[in-house]
Amino acid sequence: MKAVLYHCRNFQTVITGLSTRGNKITSEQIINRALQATNSVVAFITIEDQDNIEFTTTLLCDEIEKMCLDTKHLQVVIVPFAHLSNNLAKAKEAIRAFDVIQEKLEAKNLITHRDHFGSDKSLKIEVFGHAGNVRFRSF
């Protein structure tokens, strides 16, 4: 599992279509075509083949919580982002991992939003300019 965490002033995505790249891509059902958040930690996450979901999600959620406490912003956006690895988990496993991540973050009393899995999106991101505003993690 790999992730890039950003401390964002503003974040927005809008679904422009379902992904057509990748073998056997499976998209989640679209509930919201757009997502917007302010003053939040945004986590771009790649689930990899052979990830131990229970173990790696715990480590990731601890890192996200730490960044939230460091920035004093308790809102989180989790974004499926297949671009950090060439060793991707199957879509069904990745979706399950995002379910687990969301549950764990909510159990930590973090306000959690989840971006859509399996779609192409337009993206607007405004990152705060301070030390520690971007963090890469690999588990």
Span 74-89, mean pLDDT? 95
User: Which among 111, 127, 37 is positioned nearest to 74, based on CA atoms?
Assistant: 111
Ramachandran sector of residue 108 (left: φ over 0; alpha: ψ -120 to 50; beta: rest): alpha
In this prediction, residue 19 carries a pLDDT of 84
For the chain, give every domain's residue range. Answer: 2-138
pLDDT class of 24 with cuts at 50, 70, 90: low
3-state secondary structure of 137: strand
CATH of domain 2-138: 3.50.80.10
Q: What is the mean pLDDT of residues 5-33?
A: 86
Per residue in 109-118, pLDDT tens?
Answer: 999 999 999 9
What's the confidence (pLDDT) of residue 96?
A: 96
- What stretches of 6-134 show up as alpha helix (H) in DSSP? 53-71, 91-107
pLDDT at 29: 81
34-52 pLDDT, tens digit per residue, is: 999 999 999 999 999 999 9
Using a pLDDT cut of 90, give the percent of the chain over it: 88
| Cα 14 → chain centroid | 15
Distance from chain centroid for Cα 101:
9
Nearest to 35 by CA among 116, 101, 111, 104: 116
CB-side neighbour CA atoms (13 Å) of 76: 32
Query: What is the band of 23 on the pLDDT scale with cuts at 50, 70, 90?
Result: low
Considering the entire predicted model, what is its pTM? Answer: 0.93
- The whole-number pLDDT of residue 22 equals 61
**pLDDT score of 28:** 82
